[in-house]
Amino acid sequence: MSTALDSNRPALTVLSDDEIAFKDAVRDFAENEIRPLVTAMDEKAEMNSDLVKKLFEMGLMSIETPEKFGGAGSSFTMACLAVEEIGRVDGSVSVLMDVQNTLVTNAFLKWGTEAQKEKYLPQMAKSWVGAYALSESSSGSDAFALKLKAEAKGDKYVLNGSKLWITNGKEANIFIVFANIDSSKGYKGITAFLVEKSFAGFKVGKKEDKLGIRASSTCELLFENCEVPAANVLGEVGKGYKIAIETLNEGRIGIGAQMLGIAQGAYEAALGYVKSREQFGKPIAQFQGVQFQLAEMRTELEAARLMVYNAARLKDAGLDFIESAAMAKLYASKAAAHITSTAIDLFGGNGFTKEYPVEKFWRDAKIGQIYEGTTNMQLQTIAKMELDKS
- For strand 233-234 and strand 149-153, is the pairing parallel, antiparallel, or unpaired? unpaired
The pLDDT confidence band at residue 143, using thresholds 50, 70 and 90, is low
Q: Quick one: residue 280, left, alpha or beta (phi over 0 = left, psi -120 to 50 = alpha)? A: left
Task: Kindly report the length of the chain.
Answer: 390
How far is residue 136's CA from residue 163's CA, in Å, rounded to a whole number?
A: 5
Known catalytic membership, residue 67: no
How far is residue 309's CA from residue 149's CA, in Å, rounded to a whole number?
A: 38
The pLDDT confidence band at residue 142, using thresholds 50, 70 and 90, is confident
- For strand 172-180 and strand 129-133, is the pairing parallel, antiparallel, or unpaired? parallel
Q: Which of 105, 119, 113, 116 is nearest to 76 (CA)?
A: 105
Q: Report phi then psi at 35, rounded to 5.
A: -55, -40
Q: Which residues pair with 108 in a beta bridge?
A: none
Average pLDDT over residues 202-218: 98
Confidence check: pLDDT of 376 > 50: yes
Name which residue leads in pLDDT, 190 or 11: 190
Residue-wise pLDDT for 311-326, tens only, equals 999 999 999 999 999 9
Q: CB-based contacts of 326: which residues, under 8 Å, 6+ apart?
A: 249, 252, 373, 378, 381, 382, 385
Query: Positive or negative CA dihedral for 168, 244, 335, 315?
Result: negative
Q: Which of 263, 310, 300 is nearest to 84 (CA)?
A: 263
Q: Please state, as a whole number, how many other Cβ atoms lie within 10 Å of the Cβ of residue 51.
A: 17
Residue-wise pLDDT for 229-272, tens only, equals 999 999 999 999 999 999 999 999 999 999 999 999 999 999 99
- If DSSP states are collapsed to H, E and C, what string results for 127-160? CCEEEEECCECCECCCCCCCCCEEEEECCEEEEE
Average pLDDT over residues 58-72: 98
Q: Quick one: residue 113, left, alpha or beta (phi over 0 = left, psi -120 to 50 = alpha)? A: beta
Q: Report phi then psi at 224, rounded to 5.
A: -130, 100
Rg (CA), the chain: 21
Domains of the chain in sequence order: 7-129 (1.10.540.10), 131-238 (2.40.110.10), 242-387 (1.20.140.10)
Confidence check: pLDDT of 186 > 90: no
Q: Please state, as a whole number, how many other Cβ atoms lie within 10 Å of the Cβ of residue 86.
A: 27
pLDDT at residue 319, rounded to an integer: 95
Q: Which of 23, 132, 34, 78 is nearest to 254 (CA)?
A: 78
Q: Which among 64, 220, 372, 386 is annotated as catalytic? A: 372
Q: Which amino acid is at 172?
A: A
Contact 192, 111 (CB under 8 A): yes
Q: Which residues pair with 163 in a beta bridge?
A: 221
CA 237 to chain centroid, in Å, comes to 27
Q: How far is CA 187 from CA 157, 180, 309, 376, in A?
A: 18, 8, 32, 21
Q: Which residues pair with 221 in a beta bridge?
A: 163, 204
Q: Which amino acid is at 38?
A: V
Kindly report the pTM of this predicted structure: 0.95
